[in-house]
Structures are given as C-alpha cells and as structure tokens.
Amino acid sequence: MNKEMIKWRTILIGLFILVALYVVSNIISGLNISLIDFLLAGIAIGFMVGGNIKDGLVNGAIFGVIGGVTVTIILVVMYSLAGYSSVLVLLLGTLISYLILGIIFSLVGGILGVLVKLETENNSEQLKEVK
C-alpha cells in the first residue's frame, strides 16, 4: 500500500461531514440515523478520493474506524450526561455493534462514491465525444 492511497485530508473532511450530519440527525431531531450518516460521508469520501475501488475501500475503512470511535465517544458522553452512566457497561455491546456497523457502512459508502465518480467521468467523456 503506497502513501498516496490514504487521503488524510479527505478523511478529515468526511469526519466533519459525519459529525455535522450526526449532530443534525441525532441531537437536534432526536432520530438515530447514524448509520445513514456513515454511508453518506463514506460516499463523499469515495467520490473525493476517486481512483479505483481499492482506494475507496481503504479510505472508507480508515474513515469508518475514526468516525466510529468519534461517534462512540459522543454517545458515551451523551449517555453519561443523560444519567445512563451506571448502565454503560450493559450498553457496551450495543456501542460495539454500532462501531462495527459504522465501519461496514463507511466501506460500502467509499466503494459507492468511487463508482459514482467513475461513472460521472465516463459520462463526461462520452459527452465530449458527442460534441
């Protein structure tokens, strides 16, 4: 794996997208759609990375781990502030499953983002040929 494959700036942008979507979807509206947030941020990362499917997969996985840990920390803080600190050990299984699902959704999003980027590039090349 070469150093150019991992796009840290793109992963950081994806993390900002994830936190923004998470704050809007979970904290403000009260709905927990964090897995969709991971998917959307993963698609954005895959699109920005471009390249091939492997690039989207690697960057999506790294983003999934970092984003999953970030969201898990936010959840632990929110549960503690809400008075659930005594049952956090019981919620540990749920938090770990959200972490794993977040990584999987980010992987899928990274791959989908690369595929969208490749399709967009193919369509623009075809339009140039028609003109």
DSSP assignment of 56-85 equals HHHHHHHHHHHHHHHHHHHHHHHHHHTT-G
Look up residue 51 and give its DSSP letter. S
The type of residue at 34 is S
What average pLDDT does the segment 49-58 reach? 88
pLDDT score at 5: 81
Euclidean distance between the first and final Cα of the chain, in Å? 39
Give the Cβ contact number of residue 47 at 10 Å: 20
Q: What pLDDT is stored for residue 22 in this prediction?
A: 82
What is the pLDDT of the chain when averaged over all its residues? Answer: 85
**Confidence at residue 39, expressed as pLDDT on a 0 to 100 scale:** 92
Residues 6+ positions from 40 with CB-CB distance below 8 Å: 17, 21, 109
Higher pLDDT, 45 or 127: 45
Residue 108 has pLDDT above 60, yes or no: yes
Q: Where are the alpha helices (DSSP H) in the chain?
A: 8-22, 34-49, 53-81, 88-130
Question: Encoding tokens for residue 59?
Answer: 């960057």
DSSP code for 32: -
Q: Give the per-residue pLDDT at 116.
A: 92
pLDDT greater than 80 at residue 34: no
- Which residue bears the tokens 């927990």? 32
Task: Provide the pLDDT for residue 92.
Answer: 84
Selection from 72, 109, 110 nearest residue 92 by Cα: 72
pLDDT value, residue 123 = 77
